A and B are shown apart, each in its own frame.
Chain A
Amino acid sequence: ERGGNNSFTHEALTLKYKLDNQFELVFVVGFQKILTLTYVDKLIDDVHKEFRDKYRNEFQQKGTLGLLNGTFDFKDDFMRLLRDAEESSKVRAPTVMKTFEQSLKSQKTVKCMIETRGEKPKEKVKNKKNKGSKKEGTEAVAAPGKASVGDKQPSTAGDREELTKDEILQKNREEFFKRHMKAGEKSSKSPKPEAQKEKGKKPRVWDLGNSNAKVLDYSNSATNGSTEACPVEEFDPDIALGDRNREPGRLYDLEYESDDEVEEEKVIQNPSKPSTKKGGLGGMFGMLKGLVGSKSLTREDMDPVLEKMKDHLIAKNVAAEIAVQLCESVAKKLEGKVMGTFTTVTSTVKQALQEALVQILQPQRRVDVLRDVMDAQRHRRPYVVTFCGVNGVGKSTNLAKISFWLIENGFSVLIAACDTFRAGAVEQLRTHTRRLNALHPPESHGGRTMVQLYEKGYGKDAAGIAMEAISYARNQGFDVVLVDTAGRMQDNAPLMTALAKLIAVNAPDLVLFVGEALVGNEAVDQLVKFNKALADHSMAQTPRLIDGIVLTKFDTIDDKVGAAISMTYITSKPIVFVGTGQTYCDLRSLNAKAVVAALMKA
């Protein structure tokens, strides 16, 4: 279900893979991580194509037995392709820097380098004219830099094609004049040669000899002082004032941004609509053609359906990045697959998505707490469970529910109050203990108290209390120790360090992350940061990470069950319990099929 990205790193190796969905093949290339090989993607594509073409017969006709019996002598072809790929990556040798002799600078005589006064540098013009296109001319302007200012001259030849800003201005001026002042023709002409003069950017000759004040005077002689031919900037009153219908003098409210977004969406959708309208009749035949006969799925076919599915998932409270990755992996898995008869693209995609979701929710490790408790019982040591999570998700409530469930199954529980920060945390647990003992009095369980609270008040070190609680439980023969910790934000570094220390020092059997089902995109951030903190601050080789998830407040969401998917996707750990209310009996286990059905329901 993580097929979206096509590379995987493990220790020193990187693996890149490609799926062929038509014949159900997987091509994997492994190489050392430190090498950055640029030809890997191309190699894998080439190998895929050759292999498929060479053995197409075996796949199509003989099926599984063909795969088992056939000898796929591909080694020579593979070596050849590998060599080709390596060579092609070497062909583009880095461009060698030009030696001094090769550069043009050496061709210029020293004489031209010196700027002579007054002399029109015609030789330079000749030199540079063979550069050809205007673009190179402008680049030549940049490159030699100060060497020759006369480079600008050839650019005039080329500039005529391109409308510079000055020219646009000129054009508008002319139009303005023509529109409003018919007598301004003369003045329109005079800016022209001056503009050309400007473009030419002749070298300024700061010669004391020819102090050409006239040459230096760039002001428009005709316009200074005269209002008629004054080069007014283009002034389009419509554009400047904006809305024609506005009342002069009124200040309007700020427009809501949502309207703009809606408009943008409409704009984006509109171009797509005409295309669907156009394909009316052709689309009908296409649909029929799609129903019958086998055609392979392409990315374009799947994209609209996947978009819709992604929005549907996000609407069901799945984190946005997870929904995107899921749709990517479904697309990769289905690309090129041959559909059977009478199956539409939508149904195939929905089916694949459903399978991927079920696959995500199936645990990769066993979810049997009672079995493990029995094991620990046999070894005469308590089974330690730690609850962690952010503030207010329901750790203490669900801890009470789980202890009730354990007592019902005949195990004695010690609750360790390691939440030494929140006001009333210890009292809350004391109340729970009292109620549970009232429900299951010692007389009905052979004279031993089923629930006991181990607390040391407020303000103490949580890790120390946990350690003492576990040794107390071992001495007194308790079966399970439930450790309640304080809620903390995942960004709070000192608190995360404290939690990691608690878990690293006490080595609990089960670390449960308590998360509420109402959380949306936050779930990703919470879990990633919690796992990272646990991994960073642990001294051991294999750090203890989150082992399971408790999903709480499940009764407050109707069918927006996406948080379950987000959490299991991030951690790959199972959802051990689901809390569905605030009484002791509201503890359930996850049913993957029911959750996926609720997710896919329209």
Chain B
Amino acid sequence: AMAGRLEPHLEALGRELRPSDPAVLSVLLALLAVAITLLIWRFVQGRRSSRKAVLLLGLCDAGKTLLFARLLTGKYRDTQTSITDSSAVYRVSNDKSANVTLIDLPGHESLRLQFLERFKAAARGIVFVVDSVAFQREVKDVAEFLYQVLVDSTVLKNAPALLIACNKQDVTMAKSAKLIQQQLEKELNTLRVTRSAAPTSLDGSATGGPTQLGKKGKDFDFSQLPMKVEFVECSARGSKGEEGDADFEGLEKWLAKIA
């Protein structure tokens, strides 16, 4: 249809230009060709999703780096607290030949927001890793970090798929995903109120952001969020310890789904 609309215009243009210099005509045609190429290129680029990253977020010692290593190599590695990000391309196991870039971000309080800033725009999916064993103790910190991620304007705009991976399920004291979901919903409910009541920030912008998480009046629920949220249980260490494989089929399936 586009070509059809252009043709009469081209003819008119051609009729006008024929009496004039052929050099000018050729220049104009060249410019037109360049313009059309640019348009097509931008169209193709926009179509191809430029967000190909999956971020691994979570508190310190949640197991992000071990999960990262297991997903990529399948082997167990001794890990240290990360102080910088690591990224690598992960090929999904089934034959779709799709791949995503896994990015492992440090969980330390002073570093996490900086790195999130850097990588949030490229996120197609977010895996929020939770330490199921220490959850009862850390529930407030977990909820605060999750809240900060959820009210971020870029995250709300792109709405990447969110997976909350309850890690360390190989330990007997680990809480189940259902319990973690309930606790997080309750905590986020309270956080909504306290964060929006906090004193406004120095430059005028409110700390909780102008957005209200979920629906007002009703208790907070993960289904009220604009993005798809799933809970999954996994164990990076695996039930057989260091020699065996990690237990994370749910995680792999989710990765395959969003790739």
Across the interface, name the chain B residue whose C-beta is closest to A375.
B140
Across the interface, name the chain B residue whose C-beta is closest to A62.
B88
B64 smallest CB distance to A (angstroms) = 14
CB under 8 Å from chain B, chain A span 314-372:
355, 358-360, 362-366, 368, 370-371
Question: B212 in the interface, Cβ–Cβ < 8 Å?
Answer: no
Question: B50 in the interface, Cβ–Cβ < 8 Å?
Answer: no
Please encode chain A, from 233 to 260, with 1 for each CB lying within 8 Å of some chain B CB and 0 for all others: 0000000000000000000000000000
Q: Are A371 and B88 in contact (CB under 8 A)?
A: no
CB under 8 Å from chain A, chain B span 143-170:
144
Q: Are B202 and A595 in contact (CB under 8 A)?
A: yes
Question: B52 in the interface, Cβ–Cβ < 8 Å?
Answer: no
What A residues does B199 contact at CB under 8 A?
405, 577, 587-589
Q: Are B198 and A370 in contact (CB under 8 A)?
A: yes
Across the interface, name the chain B residue whose C-beta is closest to A594.
B203
Q: Are B201 and A371 in contact (CB under 8 A)?
A: no
State which of A26, A64, A588 has its C-beta within 8 Å of the C-beta of B200: A588
B221 smallest CB distance to A (angstroms) = 20
What A residues does B75 contact at CB under 8 A?
68-69
State which of B77, B87, B109, B202 has its C-beta within 8 Å of the C-beta of A64: B87
Q: Which of B10-18, B23-31, B188-196 makes up part of the contact surface?
A: B188-196
CB contact under 8 A between A591 and B88, given known A358-B114, A364-B110, A371-B140: no
CB contact under 8 A between A591 and B73, given known A362-B113, A371-B190: no
Q: Are A591 and B201 in contact (CB under 8 A)?
A: yes
State which of A24, A374, A577 has its C-beta within 8 Å of the C-beta of B84: A24
Across the interface, name the chain A residue whose C-beta is closest to B111.
A359
CB under 8 Å from chain A, chain B span 41-90:
69, 72-73, 75, 77, 83-84, 86-88
Query: Which of B87, B114, B144, B198 has the most CB atoms of chain A within a 10 A radius of its CB?
Result: B198
Query: Measured between alpha carbons, how far is A580 from B201 in the docked complex, in Å?
Result: 11
Question: B223 in the interface, Cβ–Cβ < 8 Å?
Answer: no
Please encode chain A, from 363 to 391, with 1 for each CB lying within 8 Å of some chain B CB and 0 for all others: 11110101100100000000000000000
A423 smallest CB distance to B (angstroms) = 31
CB contact under 8 A between A68 and B194, given known A591-B203, A595-B202: no
Question: A163 in the interface, Cβ–Cβ < 8 Å?
Answer: no
Question: A578 in the interface, Cβ–Cβ < 8 Å?
Answer: yes
Question: A279 in the interface, Cβ–Cβ < 8 Å?
Answer: no
Q: Are A368 and B144 in contact (CB under 8 A)?
A: yes
What A residues does B94 contact at CB under 8 A?
none
Number of A-B residue pairs having CB atoms within 8 Å of each other in the complex: 83
Question: B205 in the interface, Cβ–Cβ < 8 Å?
Answer: yes
Question: A590 in the interface, Cβ–Cβ < 8 Å?
Answer: yes
Question: A409 in the interface, Cβ–Cβ < 8 Å?
Answer: yes
Question: B225 in the interface, Cβ–Cβ < 8 Å?
Answer: no
What B residues does A65 contact at CB under 8 A?
72-73, 88
Question: A63 in the interface, Cβ–Cβ < 8 Å?
Answer: yes
CB contact under 8 A between A409 and B114, given known A64-B88, A578-B202, A591-B205: no
Question: B183 in the interface, Cβ–Cβ < 8 Å?
Answer: no
Q: Are A590 and B109 in contact (CB under 8 A)?
A: no
Query: Which of B141, B191, B195, B201 has the most CB atoms of chain A within a 10 A radius of its CB?
Result: B201
B76 smallest CB distance to A (angstroms) = 11
Q: Are A590 and B201 in contact (CB under 8 A)?
A: yes
CB contact under 8 A between A362 and B194, given known A65-B72, A588-B199, A594-B203: no
What A residues does B77 contact at CB under 8 A?
68
Question: B207 in the interface, Cβ–Cβ < 8 Å?
Answer: yes
Query: Measured between alpha carbons, how far is A365 from B190 in the docked complex, in Å?
Result: 18
Q: Are B195 and A368 in contact (CB under 8 A)?
A: yes
What A residues does B35 contact at CB under 8 A?
none
Q: Are A368 and B202 in contact (CB under 8 A)?
A: no
What A residues does B110 contact at CB under 8 A?
1, 359-360, 362, 364
Query: Measured between alpha carbons, how far is A363 from B108 in the docked complex, in Å?
Result: 10
Query: Measured between alpha carbons, how far is A590 from B207 in the docked complex, in Å?
Result: 9
What A residues does B88 contact at CB under 8 A?
63-65, 68
Across the interface, name the chain B residue whose C-beta is closest to A572.
B110
Q: Are A359 and B114 in contact (CB under 8 A)?
A: yes
CB under 8 Å from chain B, chain A span 59-80:
63-65, 67-69
A336 smallest CB distance to B (angstroms) = 15
What B residues does A554 contact at CB under 8 A?
202
Question: B258 in the interface, Cβ–Cβ < 8 Å?
Answer: no
Question: B34 in the interface, Cβ–Cβ < 8 Å?
Answer: no
Across the interface, name the chain B residue whose C-beta is closest to A373.
B194
Q: Are A589 and B87 in contact (CB under 8 A)?
A: no
CB contact under 8 A between A68 and B197, given known A359-B111, A362-B113: no
Across the interface, name the chain B residue whose C-beta is closest to A592.
B113
What A residues does B200 contact at CB under 8 A?
588-589
Q: Are B197 and A370 in contact (CB under 8 A)?
A: yes
Across the interface, name the chain B residue whose C-beta is closest to A401.
B199
A64 smallest CB distance to B (angstroms) = 4
Please encode chain B, from 123 to 151, with 1 for each CB lying within 8 Å of some chain A CB and 0 for all others: 00000000000000000110010000000
Query: Measured between alpha carbons, how far is A360 from B111 in the docked complex, in Å?
Result: 10
What B residues does A580 contact at CB under 8 A?
202
Q: Are A588 and B73 in contact (CB under 8 A)?
A: no
B153 smallest CB distance to A (angstroms) = 13
Please encode chain A, from 1 to 23, with 1 for each CB lying within 8 Å of some chain B CB and 0 for all others: 10000000000000000000000
Query: Measured between alpha carbons, how far is A554 from B72 in the docked complex, in Å?
Result: 50
Q: Are B140 and A366 in contact (CB under 8 A)?
A: yes
Q: Are A69 and B140 in contact (CB under 8 A)?
A: no
CB contact under 8 A between A368 and B198, given known A64-B86, A65-B73, A68-B69: yes
Q: Are A588 and B202 in contact (CB under 8 A)?
A: yes
CB under 8 Å from chain B, chain A span 139-178:
none
B222 smallest CB distance to A (angstroms) = 20
CB contact under 8 A between A591 and B202, given known A63-B88, A69-B73, A366-B141: yes
Query: Which of A371, A409, A577, A594 has the most CB atoms of chain B within a 10 A radius of its CB?
Result: A371
Query: Which of A365, A578, A591 has the most CB atoms of chain B within a 10 A radius of its CB?
Result: A591
Query: Measured between alpha carbons, how far is A69 from B205 in the docked complex, in Å?
Result: 46
CB contact under 8 A between A362 and B201, given known A64-B88, A68-B72: no
CB under 8 Å from chain A, chain B span 97-118:
109-111, 113-114
Q: Are B114 and A588 in contact (CB under 8 A)?
A: no
B108 smallest CB distance to A (angstroms) = 8
Query: Measured between alpha carbons, how far is A69 from B144 in the docked complex, in Å?
Result: 35
Query: Measured between alpha carbons, how far is A371 from B191 in the docked complex, in Å?
Result: 7
B152 smallest CB distance to A (angstroms) = 13
Pairs across A and B, CB under 8 Å, 7 listed: A68-B88, A370-B194, A370-B197, A588-B202, A589-B207, A591-B201, A595-B202
Q: Which 3 A-B pairs have the closest CB atoms?
A: A370-B194, A591-B201, A64-B88
Beyond A408-B197, A589-B198, 8 additional contacts (C-beta under 8 Å) are: A65-B73, A65-B88, A362-B111, A362-B113, A363-B109, A364-B110, A587-B199, A590-B202
A interface, CB within 8 angstroms of B: 1, 24, 26, 63-65, 67-69, 355, 358-360, 362-366, 368, 370-371, 374, 405, 408-409, 554, 577-578, 580, 587-591, 594-595
